[in-house]
């Protein structure tokens, strides 16, 4: 029987989905994160959960990595992508060849989970940052059936989810393509839900929330968009990284899952066929590439991954060295640091409503709020120029 390591469990869901007796469920612990809970009376000691748990498995070394700065040629796709639209190009290639794509979607009720997409018209739900840990639900089991039927499958997720999937499958499949993201940590659905309750109180009935939408702040982590329904009808408003506690605490690293602070995947030994992220600082390299509206960092970690990137259509890309990729992507060299405020955030979550947490945040961050508002007045072109100097 699996002994739950609460410090290092990533919540990938491999054990829950592999259990033949379905005797592993989820329990909620600090900050509302989910951890496996085994019903010992139903357990038959088959040890399947132990076999698929990726926590203690050694990382597979990577040879012949190739690194690219990439920008999607389609302006509409680029605008609705978090960075340079690399994921969209890869996913479309798979879908256009009869494959399916599994990725993270914000579904009904703003619940973040992995879903299966078989039509490019549904691809938009998988684009963009969610900043909430995705529930893998039954996606590993569904994906396994697709693979056995000979369907080409693209799976995108955090490095721990990709490793959990591979461990769950227990064998290599030529028709599986995995994409891991450069991740600095995940927030919990329950913590996000509490925040949404307060946001609804202030904005009206929420219809949509998009982290890192480029409409108001360009390509950055500066904000996003909230769409709500009020007495005046549908209203859209900017959602900044300084004017609410959820986004601010997420970016500061206060509310990540415990395992994120000791993440063994925060390096260049990547586990997916392809690694995707933002190519922060790319402006300083003066590449022959228009990166104004976003640029993807693309790392190929296998022959299969390189073959896909080599054959992508509708993109512009420039190969660079790994050192340039690491320079402004800290989580390619080390995990996020455990902050001194995390215990305070746990106490707040356990004892306060979202409105109370927001009220405290606004009172304690007057200077941050003023600076943030001033920064919104600085043109995006100027911010990019400043970024290019570093």
Question: In sequence order, what DSSP letters do the residues of 247-289 get, joined into one string?
Answer: HHHHHHTSS--GGGGG-TTSSS---SSEEEEE-TTGGGGT-SS
**Shared-domain flag, residues 242 and 342:** no
User: Helix, strand or coil for residue 208?
Assistant: strand
- Asked if residue 27 lies in contact with residue 37, where contact means CB atoms within 8 angstroms, the answer is yes
**Shared-domain flag, residues 183 and 260:** yes
Please tell me the predicted confidence (pLDDT) of residue 382: 77
Q: Please state, in angstroms and rounded to a whole number, the distance separating the CA atoms of residues 263 and 55.
A: 10
% of residues, the chain, pLDDT over 70: 99
**Shared-domain flag, residues 33 and 132:** yes
**Shared-domain flag, residues 116 and 132:** yes
pLDDT digits (tens, 9 = 90+) for 194-208: 999 999 999 999 999
Q: How many domains, the chain?
A: 2
CA 198 to chain centre: 23
- Residues 48-59 have a mean pLDDT of 93
- Residues 314-325 have a mean pLDDT of 95
Q: Please state, in angstroms and rounded to a whole number, the distance separating the CA atoms of residues 276 and 155.
A: 12
Distances (CA, A) of 352 to 112, 183, 188, 365: 23, 28, 16, 18
**Residue 72 buriedness (CB in 10 A; 0-12 / 13-18 / 19+):** buried
**Shared-domain flag, residues 339 and 368:** no
Q: Please state, in angstroms and rounded to a whole number, the distance separating the CA atoms of residues 38 and 36.
A: 7
**Shared-domain flag, residues 198 and 314:** no
**Shared-domain flag, residues 166 and 203:** no
Q: Please state, in angstroms and rounded to a whole number, the distance separating the CA atoms of residues 33 and 132.
A: 10
Residue 69 φ then ψ, to 5°: -100, 130
262 pLDDT more than 90: yes
Domain of residue 326 covers 1-188+255-351
- Asked if residue 64 lies in contact with residue 124, where contact means CB atoms within 8 angstroms, the answer is no
- Residues 19-28 have a mean pLDDT of 96
Q: How does the average pLDDT of the chain come out, rounded?
A: 95
Structure tokens at 66: 């190739």
**Shared-domain flag, residues 155 and 47:** yes
**Shared-domain flag, residues 356 and 345:** no
**Shared-domain flag, residues 18 and 107:** yes
pTM for this predicted structure: 0.95
Identify the CA nearest to 49 among candidates 35, 63, 60: 35
**Shared-domain flag, residues 46 and 131:** yes
**Shared-domain flag, residues 194 and 239:** yes
pLDDT digits (tens, 9 = 90+) for 372-388: 999 888 887 777 777 77
User: Helix, strand or coil for residue 180?
Assistant: strand
DSSP characters over 62-130? --S-EEEEEEES-HHHHHTSSSSSHHHHHHHHHHHTT-EEEEEEEEGGGEEEEEEE-SGGGGGGG-SB-
């Amino acid at each position: 029987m699996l002994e739950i390591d609460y410090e290092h469990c990533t919540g990938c869901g491999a054990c829950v989905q592999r259990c033949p007796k379905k005797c592993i469920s989820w329990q909620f612990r600090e900050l509302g994160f989910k951890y496996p809970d085994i019903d010992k009376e139903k357990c038959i000691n088959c040890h399947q959960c132990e076999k698929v748990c990726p926590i203690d498995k050694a990382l597979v070394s990577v040879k012949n990595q190739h690194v690219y700065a990439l920008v999607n040629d389609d302006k509409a796709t680029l605008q609705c992508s978090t960075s340079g639209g690399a994921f969209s190009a890869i996913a479309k290639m798979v879908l256009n060849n009869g494959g399916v794509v599994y990725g993270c979607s914000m579904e009904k009720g703003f619940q973040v989970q992995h879903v299966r997409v078989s039509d490019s018209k549904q691809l938009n739900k998988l684009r963009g940052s969610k900043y909430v840990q995705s529930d893998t639900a039954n996606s590993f089991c569904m994906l396994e059936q697709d693979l056995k039927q000979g369907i080409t499958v693209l799976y995108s997720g955090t490095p721990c989810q990709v490793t959990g999937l591979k461990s769950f499958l227990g064998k290599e499949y030529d028709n599986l393509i995995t994409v891991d993201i450069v991740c600095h940590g995940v927030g919990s659905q329950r913590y996000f839900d509490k925040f949404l309750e307060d946001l609804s109180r202030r904005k009206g009935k929420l219809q949509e929330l998009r982290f890192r939408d480029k409409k108001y702040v360009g390509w950055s982590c500066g904000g996003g968009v909230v769409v709500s329904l009020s007495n005046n009808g549908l209203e859209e408003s900017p959602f900044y990284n300084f004017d609410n506690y959820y986004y601010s605490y997420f970016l500061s690293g206060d509310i990540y899952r415990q395992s994120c602070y000791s993440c063994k995947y925060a390096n260049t030994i990547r586990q997916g066929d392809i690694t995707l992220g933002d190519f922060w600082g790319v402006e300083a390299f003066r590449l022959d590439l228009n990166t104004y509206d976003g640029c993807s960092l693309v790392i190929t970690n296998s022959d299969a991954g390189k073959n896909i990137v080599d054959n992508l259509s509708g993109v512009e890309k420039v190969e660079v060295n790994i050192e340039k990729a690491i320079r402004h992507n800290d989580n390619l060299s080390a995990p996020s640091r455990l902050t001194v405020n995390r215990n305070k955030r746990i106490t707040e979550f356990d004892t306060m409503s979202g409105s109370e947490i927001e009220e405290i945040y606004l009172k304690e961050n007057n200077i941050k709020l003023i600076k943030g508002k001033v920064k919104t007045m600085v043109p995006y072109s100027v911010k990019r120029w400043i970024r290019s100097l570093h």
